[in-house]
Amino acid sequence: MDEPATLSLFSPEAIETTAILSPAHRNCSPEPPKKKSKTSNQRQKEELIDLRNMTQRLEQELMTLKQQKQQKLIQQDNSDSATSSSTFTPQRKVLLWETVAEHQRVEKVKVEVENVKLRKLVEKQTRLLTSMNDLLRKHRKRCYPEPHDNGRYQACGVCKEDKVLMEMIYDVDSRYNQIDSIFEHHNLGRMVTSVEEGDNASMKYSPDQGIFLEYREKKVMPFQHTLFSDVVWRSFGEGKLKLAGSQVTIIQHTEDISFSKAIFPLGRKVVTSDGKKNAESAQTLSVMKRYREANRVVHVWFAYTSLTLEDGSVSPAVLTHQGCGTMTKATLSNGSNGCVTQSYTRSVPVHSNPLLDNMQKADHCDVRLLAEVTFSAYKQSRQKLNQRLENLLLDEIVGPSKTV
């Protein structure tokens, strides 16, 4: 059936028709092909591609927004931490606790070493005390130039408290104006915040000055001097700063004057005076006065210590304590605010009866015992008192934040 169709194309009629039409067709442009209409499948494919492209764009925009939000949160956290570090936050308080804890650990090690030296030092110095009768007599004559001055250095269990308080305040006020010269004389006048003198307690004697105990201390504290002074003063008024095992009675406590009595037991049983009476305890009557200045707070104190015998009487031997201390505003080596505390105390053993020409051997033993007891109590309790004071200061700082 295909063969006739093929032959008809080459028939004379077909050739003629082609020859006639071909010139015209050569001069005419061909018609453009008609566009085919899209099927439903093609339209769905194109829509699917468009949706995929749109989904990718939205995902990219979402990732960009998440990154921007994360950067803002990081910047906000950094600004909050910077703000909290500029004020006194719990993080800052933790660092302060660590500093004080390390300081207390070092102090504990130092005290253990000092206690070993203490026993040897006391044994050596007490042997020297027994041969100092002449020196005590010279010193006693300087303290009591006239017989009517007898009442000033009587044993604190015999004197009336109001009279003793007036005389103590007079002594304190007279030494307040000399505090700078006292510190300079004992190498405590320089304000060096990077160096601590530490504790320096010793028993000394000289032909001119007689026998005395001396305590020197200089410390750098990470607390404001006003806060330090307020906590110390309030703690004294509440009886929190005391020797181990002692009983403190606050007789009078005001904004600037603190008057108290302390009784502490002796570490061992001793026989004094006539060889028949036992010393049960020692008692101290002390007064402290506070002076507030522009950049520092000054504390000056005066105290008597005597032995209480088993029959209730008081030993004629008396140990007088004259001391002073300052809490000065300072910038520490790390740039933070703090204070430098300095203190000096001098303890002199005397006899309550200046009219005696010769001190009896038993009375001299009382003086020796009193000096030994006081010196040992101070050395053994100093580190505990410093720790107690530092803990009270930290409680004062952290306390308000806990109630918020």
- How confident is the model over 108-164, as pLDDT tens digits? 777 777 777 766 666 665 555 555 544 455 444 444 333 334 344 444 444 566 777
Query: 329-341 burial by CB neighbour count: b if 16+ within 10 A, else e?
Result: bbeeeeeeebbbb
∠ CA 37-41-47, nearest 5°, is 95
Per-residue confidence band for 299, with pLDDT thresholds at 50, 70 and 90: very high
Residue 302 has pLDDT above 90, yes or no: yes
Per-residue confidence band for 403, with pLDDT thresholds at 50, 70 and 90: very low
**Which range, 122-126, 170-174, 397-401, has the best average confidence (pLDDT)?**
170-174
Residue 326 has pLDDT above 90, yes or no: yes
Q: Which residue has the higher pLDDT, 90 or 75?
A: 75
Q: What tokens were used for 244?
A: 């181990």
Query: 39-70 burial by CB neighbour count: b if 16+ within 10 A, else e?
Result: eeeeeeeeeeeeeeeeeeeeeeeeeeeeeeee
Q: Which residue has the higher pLDDT, 32 or 111?
A: 111
**Which range, 168-172, 185-189, 387-391, has the best average confidence (pLDDT)?**
168-172
Mean pLDDT for the stretch of residues 264-274: 60
**Which range, 26-30, 43-47, 210-214, 379-383, has the best average confidence (pLDDT)?**
43-47
CA distance 238 to 258: 11
Residue 274 has pLDDT above 60, yes or no: no
Mean pLDDT for the stretch of residues 377-386: 68
What is the per-residue pLDDT for 100? Answer: 74
Q: What tokens were used for 39?
A: 């099927």
Mean pLDDT for the stretch of residues 315-338: 85
What is the per-residue pLDDT for 324? Answer: 94
CA distance 166 to 163: 5
- The answer to whether 130 touches 123, Cβ cutoff 8 Å, is no
CA distance 128 to 375: 15
CA distance 281 to 263: 7
Q: Which residue has the higher pLDDT, 148 or 63?
A: 63
- The whole-model pTM stands at 0.58
What is the per-residue pLDDT for 242? Answer: 80
Q: What tokens were used for 305?
A: 């210590």
Domain ranges of the chain: 92-402
Q: Which residue has the higher pLDDT, 83 or 280?
A: 280
Reference 379, options 120, 194, 184, 133; nearest CA is 120
∠ CA 90-333-222, nearest 5°, is 40
* Residues contacting 353, CB < 8 A, separation 6+: 150, 316
CA distance 109 to 116: 11
